[in-house]
Chain A
Amino acid sequence: MEKKIMKGAEALMCSLIEENVNTIFGYPGGQIITVFDALYSYRDSFQYILTRHEQGAIHAAQGYARVSGDTGVVIVTSGPGATNVITGLADAMLDSTPLVVITGQVGASLLGSDAFQETDVIGVTQPITKWSYQIRKASEIPWAVARAFYIAREGRPGPVVLDLTKDAQSEMVEFSYKKCIFIRSYQPYPELQPENIAQAAEMINKAKRPMALVGQGVLLGHAEEELKAFLTKADIPAGSTLLGLSALSSDFSLYKGLLGMHGNLGPNKKTAECDVLIAIGMRFDDRVTGDLKKYAKQAKVIHFDIDTSEIDKNVKTSVAVLGNAKETLPAVTELLQPARHTAWIQSFEACEKEEMERVIIPEIMPIAGPITMGEVVNRVSEATNHEAILVTDVGQNQMIAARYFKFSRSRSMITSGGLGTMGFGLPASIGAALGAPERRVCFFTGDGGIQMTLQELGTIMQYKIPVKIIILNNNFLGMVRQWQELFYRERYSSTPMNNPDFPKIAEAYGIAGKKVTKREDLDDAIEEMLKDNKAYLLEVEVEENGMVYPMIPAGTSVDQIILGD
């Protein structure tokens, strides 16, 4: 390859091209202006999205990465630009989302001098990134970018920060690029262990009441088909974590529903009854396990994971199957004897029936009273033929959406799971729409959460992002209100909210919208929202005192799940 002399900033552009980046989210500023100048020359090489806040940029990149499977790219300035992406980094770290975030930094000679807009970005980001590195010389740019993409993407994905000093951006360098294919201190894919694979298969073959817990690892490893083959061969019912949703389609016969605090009755209760518990690409978060001391004590635990440090972190395993689910699942499946667990699988039905009668029907098909969140979610899911990408914010809206939206395609659920970041949804939906342009994106949010990143309506306007925004407005920080009702004697401290006229705000941004307060208007409004491929904001006034059930109160065990009154 012919070598070219160029500025560091241009070397960064060329490096991003080498990594096949086509979309960049960001926000400019003084210490990154040289990079943005180079971006101007390369504007035909990238789709560049200027969000309205750096938090918006990083959440958009997360949404983009999660629907597409590609690494999300963010470029922001130093100091406040960098600190504004902190929430997104922590979120992406917990939810294993591949990101490369490039922050501007003051010139190397000024480092440590408290210069204008200098923040110790490496110090601040080290605990919440997979890797963070300060680039002080232009010659390091190709090496660091190549390494950053390799680290962000390979193994268990995660966010990477490159802190790029101002002088490195303008220094001249002879550009040459070499993709990173190996780091001697990092083993992204643990070697398959045939013994453990055989042991796991044997344990499953002997199981009378096996049950699988499906996590995001299946999606990250593109192992959806392998999972189905595995479950089908040994006839294993499966529950899904919040982030594992859509790995199995909602109508797959062995799929038994959502796990965790607001999950379905069956999969939660049955974790306390199964004899072999098979966790696949999930990390036994406390929102899934409830009280660990009482969690699945009767069961042998098989844990499939790519990340060695997850093994025995929360739940003691009998057998660990390390590796990418795409390889480990078929390896185990091959050793499985075809089995039938008819009675065991049928035993889920009693739970399903009870939940249907006591929780689901009243939530999605109420006959009188205010509109419920569940009926809105259910109707939008039906109206989109269960084919849309669901993006949620955080709170009751998130849990209800996760419970009642149905999925027929993989990578269709984008939500902030580990960090539970309010304000995640709106920008994430922008990223999701850009990452899967051929698909429809439905974003459910609360009156609280939408206002945390509301300014991103400007981004939607500028780039004509066709997201369907559905605000489930209960005029409350509903999830906190629910806890106050249940555990704090109905002392509604700091949870009621006076809200603006949301469709009017949308109108100011040139986004069509409507507010619905009556049940009989809901279907028409949804139809209107979905009639074209443009952004739309639908505000639905819902039950103020709505509750999300079932619920495993924090600290109790999964079989102490409550159904409400």
Chain B
Amino acid sequence: MEKTLYTITVYTENFVGLLNQITIIFTRRQINIESLTVSKSSIPGIHKFTITAETDLEMVKKVVKQIEKRIDVLKAFYHTDDDVIYQEVALYKIGAEAMLDNPEIESIVRKYNARILEVNRSYGVLELSGHTEDTQELFERLKEFHVLQFVRSGRIAITKSTVERLSDFLAEMEARNPEHQCKK
């Protein structure tokens, strides 16, 4: 089956050890995680994982079910790039001399819509958000100025759909809570 880059988003309770529980599901099936971002979600107490991995549709469905099967996972979803708006952040560190000696860097910054985060006597730091190809392109463009460091974050993504699946899910689950039902 055809391989595609999928974005898998996972919402979990905030317990120690969930990252391991989720990543071993990929490892066991020989799927390489391309990028991983973990942070608090907009809902207090709930963490969000955004994972990208290249695999086929059948496998991504199985993986998502296996992730959801973990007790402290609330919900997991998979998306193709078409379903989401996504972004990464990249940082580029360039020596101060190169920055000062090459005025074209400024036009590059403008052209790519990058930002200058810091310039000091030793180096300057540029920032660009975009897709992998964009941040990579800027890296290639800056190579001749001797990039001292280049880092890229994992992907973060927002769905295009208008349904807020997690909040719906939470409401649905809470409605199931017997205690809740007793109170009513």
- Measuring CB to CB, which residues of chain A are less than 8 angstroms from any residue of chain B? 122-123, 126-127, 130-134, 151, 181-187, 307-309, 311-313
Contacts and interface: CB of A to CB of B under 8 A. Distances in A.
Interface in B1-58: 12-13, 15-17, 20-21, 24, 28, 58
Contacts of B65: 308-309, 311, 313
B21 A126 contact: yes
Instruction: Please indicate which of the listed interface residues B28, B71, B170, B179 has the most CB atoms of chain A within 10 Å of its own CB.
Output: B71
Interface in B67-81: 68-69, 71-74
Given A127-B24, A127-B28, A185 B69 contact: no
Contacts of A127: 24, 28
Nearest to A131: B71
Contact of B71 (A183, A307, A313): A183
Nearest to A308: B65
Contacts of A123: 17, 20
Nearest to A160: B71
A121 to B, nearest CB: 11
Contacts of A122: 16-17
Given A126-B20, A131-B71, A312-B61, 6 more contacts: A132-B17, A133-B15, A184-B174, A185-B73, A308-B65, A311-B65
B103 interface: no
Given A126-B24, A182-B179, A309-B65, A187 B17 contact: no
A123 B177 CA distance: 31
Nearest to B69: A309
Contact of A182 (B15, B16, B58, B177): B177
Instruction: Please indicate which of the listed interface residues A185, A309, A311 has the most CB atoms of chain B within 10 Å of its own CB.
Output: A185
B17 A126 contact: yes
B133 to A, nearest CB: 34
B62 interface: yes
Nearest to A310: B65
A184 B177 contact: yes
A221 B132 CA distance: 49
A184 B13 CA distance: 9
A309 B28 contact: no
Interface string B128-163: 000000000000000000000000000000000000
A186 B70 CA distance: 8
A367 to B, nearest CB: 51
Nearest to B21: A126
B37 to A, nearest CB: 20
B176 A182 contact: yes
A243 B174 CA distance: 35
A309 B170 CA distance: 20
Contacts of B179: 181-182
Nearest to A316: B58
* Interface residue tally on B, bucketed by range: 20 to 34
B113 interface: no
26 contacts: A122-B16, A122-B17, A126-B24, A127-B24, A130-B71, A131-B71, A131-B72, A132-B17, A133-B15, A151-B71, A181-B179, A182-B176, A183-B71, A184-B170, A184-B173, A184-B174, A184-B177, A185-B173, A187-B176, A308-B68, A309-B66, A309-B68, A309-B69, A311-B65, A312-B61, A313-B65
Contacts of A185: 12-13, 71-74, 173
Contacts of A187: 173, 176
B9 to A, nearest CB: 15
4 A-B pairs closest in CB distance = A309-B65, A185-B74, A182-B177, A131-B71
Interface in B55-101: 58, 61-62, 65-66, 68-69, 71-74
Contact of A186 (B21, B24, B28, B71): B71
A238 B20 CA distance: 41
Contacts of A126: 17, 20-21, 24
A122 B72 CA distance: 14
A130 B24 CA distance: 14
A151 B72 CA distance: 11
Given A126-B20, A307-B69, A309-B69, A181 B62 contact: no
A224 to B, nearest CB: 26
B47 to A, nearest CB: 11
Contacts of B13: 185
Instruction: Please indicate which of the listed interface residues A133, A184, A187 has the most CB atoms of chain B within 10 Å of its own CB.
Output: A184
B103 to A, nearest CB: 52
B19 to A, nearest CB: 11
Contacts of A151: 71
Given A123-B20, A185-B12, A309 B73 contact: no
A131 B69 CA distance: 10
A181 B178 contact: yes
Nearest to B62: A313
A138 to B, nearest CB: 18
A182 B178 contact: yes
A339 B66 CA distance: 38
A178 to B, nearest CB: 10
Contacts of A307: 69
Contacts of B17: 122-123, 126, 132
B62 A309 contact: yes
B28 to A, nearest CB: 7
A561 B68 CA distance: 37
Contacts of A309: 62, 65-66, 68-69
Contacts of B178: 181-182
A184 B171 CA distance: 10
Contacts of B61: 312
Contacts of A183: 71
A122 B62 CA distance: 24
A357 to B, nearest CB: 43
Contacts of A313: 62, 65
A148 B74 CA distance: 17
A185 B176 CA distance: 11
Contacts of B173: 184-185, 187
Contacts of A133: 15
